[in-house]
Amino acid sequence: MAELRGVSDAPAQPDSAAAWWRLACALALMTVGSCGMYVVAVVLPAVQAEFGVDRAEASLPYTALMVGFGLGGVLMGRLADRHGVRVPVLLGSAGIAAGFALAASAPGIGVFTLAHGLFLGLLGCSATFAPLVADTTLWFVRRRGIAVAVCASGNYLAGAFWPPVVQSIVDGYGWRTAYFGLAGISLVVLPLLALGLRGRAPAFQAAPARAGRPAPQPSARPFGLAPAQAQALLCVAGVACCVAMAMPQVHIVAYCSDLGYGAARGAQMMSLMLGFGIVSRLLSGAICDRIGGLPTLLLGSALQGLALLLFLPFDGLVSLYVISALFGLFQGGIVPSYAIIVREHFEPAEAGARVGTVLMATLFGMALGGWMSGKVFDLTGSYHAAFLNGIAWNLLNLTIAGLLLLGWRRTRRLAAA
């Protein structure tokens, strides 16, 4: 107990035991708090049937949740910068519980969408993602990449754990019962976990040089650009990669239902996809500590594009399980790499707001991709064109990441000269 009091009463050193304890609490918080991102995809077929809407309209609650999630990440990040990360987390606990309860009572798709956008997204899940990732970047220096990867893995742990659990409840008792249960869990568990987020962040320190490579350092002109321009490009890249990412993640359950394999098979594939995403995030974090954020982003984006291509010629049951696993393994490290890029190239005092802004863009990409894929399906009657659309957006992300990497290397050469 004395050790825990020390964690809360005095600033700790980076990469210390106190930092790892805090990381464990953040991981658990994100695992529970991110459940709303994935269960809405699980209940999509049941909600569509009950409310009598088309696929695009049934996808709107997910889109609203992700838009609210993104906007809330910026607001919660600023709140964490001023008052500490526990304040937004406690606020988010109440928002998540209220969102699930309201959605479970919704008489139609309008209220269901509002519950996801306002309460689950803006005031709820947003508090358990961007603020926790930004806070983690402040507690680690030498192991920052792997620490951020562990923290962000909570998002995928939620995706691996909750879909099959919720699908079994939906099959036995209906989606409304599942949502009421999630409301109760969120109201009790999240405030208890928030007790572990005590203490002040260590003083800002520069990253150590990597073997044979100079480490990126915060600059007044990141990538040789004005800070606003650099962040804008990162935001566009975040939208692009996540439009592509959303295609399988949001629609794999519906896709399997359309192919005749059933929603339960699709939920299993989503769980498999996100379970391998955890492995991907941990591997990417270790890679990031060696080569930096931008090269890691470029690698992950290229592999994600390859996995999307594999969905086009293969739609057999076994093939879809294999490709779902590969997709998770390839793309899991993309989003955490943005937090590392921001921490490496921008001033650390702005971490909460800037990380929140870039992660907001990735969430907007997920929101846009979820709706757009449903719309393309409604227009064409097939997901084939939706996969092609995702591949095109992925190419845009690759282009921007490559240009930013070239810009950073150019400025480094000029500084050396």
Between helix 263-291 and helix 227-259 the angle, nearest 10°, is: 150
**Residues sharing a CB contact under 8 Å with residue 191, sequence separation 6 or more, in sequence order:** 90, 93
Q: How far apart are CA 238 and CA 400, in angstroms?
A: 10
Give the pLDDT mean for 372-376: 87
Write the single-letter amino acid at 357.
T
Rounded alpha-carbon distances, angstroms, from residue 372 to 64, 69, 129, 328:
13, 18, 24, 21
What is the residue extent of each domain of the chain? 12-199+218-416
Q: How far apart are CA 241 and CA 351, in angstroms?
A: 22
Confidence bin at 203 (pLDDT 50/70/90) = low
Domain 12-199+218-416 is in which class? mainly alpha
End-to-end CA distance of the chain: 54
The residue to which tokens 């907001």 are assigned: 360
Confidence bin at 403 (pLDDT 50/70/90) = very high
Token pair listed for 229: 């321009």
Question: Which of 146-155, 173-182, 330-339, 363-372 comes out lowest in average pLDDT?
Answer: 363-372
Q: Which of 385, 397, 406, 294 is nearest to 341 (CA)?
A: 294
Confidence bin at 166 (pLDDT 50/70/90) = very high
Evaluate if pTM is beyond 0.85: no
Read off the pLDDT of residues 2-25 as tens digits, 9 standing for 90 and up.
444 444 445 568 888 889 999 999
Give the pLDDT mean for 352-359: 83
pLDDT at 406 over 70: yes
**Residues sharing a CB contact under 8 Å with residue 97, sequence separation 6 or more, in sequence order:** 183, 184, 186, 187
Q: Which of 30, 59, 28, 57 is nearest to 43 (CA)?
A: 59
Token pair listed for 326: 């590969």
Give the pLDDT mean for 227-233: 91
- Whole-number pLDDT of residue 388: 92
pLDDT at 289 over 70: yes
- CA–chain centroid gap for 187, Å, is 22
Token pair listed for 107: 């008489």
- In DSSP terms, 107 is beta-bridged to none
- In DSSP terms, 213 is beta-bridged to 210
Burial 51-70 (b: 16+ CB within 10 A, else e): eebebbbbbbbbbbbbbbbb
Residue 349 near residue 204 (C-beta atoms within 8 A):
yes
Burial 352-368 (b: 16+ CB within 10 A, else e): bbbbbbbbbbbbbbbbb
Instruction: Kindly report the average pLDDT of the chain as a whole number.
Output: 86
Q: How far apart are CA 91 and CA 73, in angstroms?
A: 13
Q: What are phi and psi of 213, to 5 degrees?
A: -140, 135
Residue 281 near residue 152 (C-beta atoms within 8 A):
yes
- Whole-number pLDDT of residue 215: 60
Q: Which of 301, 286, 284, 302 is nearest to 210 (CA)?
A: 286
DSSP per residue, 8-46: HHSPPPTTSHHHHHHHHHHHHHHHHHTHHHHHHHHSHHH
Residue 144 near residue 343 (C-beta atoms within 8 A):
yes
